[in-house]
Amino acid sequence: MRIAHLSDLHLYAGGAPARRFLNKRLTGWVNLRTKRGHVHRAAYVRAIALEIARLDVDHVVITGDLTNLALEGEYELARELIERDLGLDTSRVTVVPGNHDMYTRGAWASRRFDRYLAPWLASDLPALAADGDGGRFPLVKLLDGVAVIGLSSAVPRPPFVAAGELGRAQLTALGRILSHPEVVRRTVVLAMHHPMAHSDSPIKAYLEGLRDAPALLLQLQTLSRGLLLHGHLHKRVRRDIATRAGVVHQLGATSASLHHEGTDRMAGFNVYELSDSAIGRLEAHVYSPETGTFHLTSVPRPAGLM
């Protein structure tokens, strides 16, 4: 089983009326005009989607921030890219929301993510999920030897705060799913936007990390192996997290649209090989805009991270 992982597309569509920016979007728009628009390039996202389609992987996981300001036009761009450029059956793609996809309370309360991306949110164990204001999660895809479990850590926050939260209902539902026989006999791949383990300062972790990370870690203690895929940091990074039964590998993908000098941040995607009994290669495909090609590297472990 080969799984491609991309994240943080940050697709932007202009043309929204000024009244749509009388909220948190105003600070996001200023950031976009002064910084983000110069380093996030939609052409990179399309190149990545076409490369993943060429590789013919078994499954694709997109860990949030498909949009930049949670506007309808951005959701339309995201849906078009998945349908046209990836070109995979909906059962072969798992999508979860990021904080930019729930950028305002209006986007969150109207379930905009759920409405635009519904074809990729179908679950093989729908009765075990929990209803929340942002949608129905966790979603489960039962694959050959692998169970992909999509979680929603995205909630609207005030300006300059990007922290995530799963919530008690979703964590309780995750416990039911992890104990289901069809999941127990497979290798678990969890997908969400925010990383569970955060290495930055306590203040930054509070402002940008996962607020209920300890409760999630408690739910994972029975796993002997597995992957936890995330985005949010715009950085390729790997951290191995010990459980009572073994190890879960937390793997971050960089932003699929980011232009950056650092190899650990330059746009690209990750590919993981795994089965029902083992985890194989964990590799990163880094985009080279000068040639339009990709080169392989490992997903790095920063110094001091274990």
pLDDT tens-digit profile of 18-77? 444 444 544 554 455 555 555 889 999 999 999 999 999 999 999 999 999 889 999 999
Neighbours of 64 (CB within 10 A): 29
For residue 17, what pLDDT is reported?
43
For residue 134, what pLDDT is reported?
75
Q: Is there a contact between 136 and 98 (Cβ–Cβ < 8 Å)?
A: no
For residue 301, what pLDDT is reported?
85
**CA gap 294, 52 in Å, rounded:** 11
For residue 26, what pLDDT is reported?
43
Q: Is there a contact between 252 and 238 (Cβ–Cβ < 8 Å)?
A: yes
**CA gap 47, 220 in Å, rounded:** 35
Sheet (strand 237-242) strand order: 139-142, 146-150, 187-191, 226-230, 247-252, 237-242
CA 274 vs CA 48, 120, 299: distances in Å: 22, 22, 15
Mean pLDDT of the chain, nearest integer:
90
Q: In which band, very low, low, confident or very high, does the pLDDT at 14 lie, cut at 50, 70 and 90? A: low
What average pLDDT does range 162-173 have in this prediction?
96
Looking at CATH, the fold of the domain delimited by 2-14+35-298 is given as Purple Acid Phosphatase; chain A, domain 2 (3.60.21)
Domain locations in the chain?
A: 2-14+35-298
| DSSP E strand boundaries for 195-291 | 226-230, 237-242, 247-252, 268-274, 279-288
pLDDT in tens, 259-283: 999 999 999 999 999 988 889 999 9
pTM: 0.92
Cis before 138? omega within 30: yes
Neighbours of 43 (CB within 10 A): 12
Q: Report whether pLDDT(178) > 90.
A: yes
pLDDT in tens, 97-153: 999 999 877 777 788 999 999 999 999 999 999 998 778 999 999 999 999 999 999
Neighbours of 82 (CB within 10 A): 22
What average pLDDT does range 168-180 have in this prediction?
97
For residue 109, what pLDDT is reported?
76
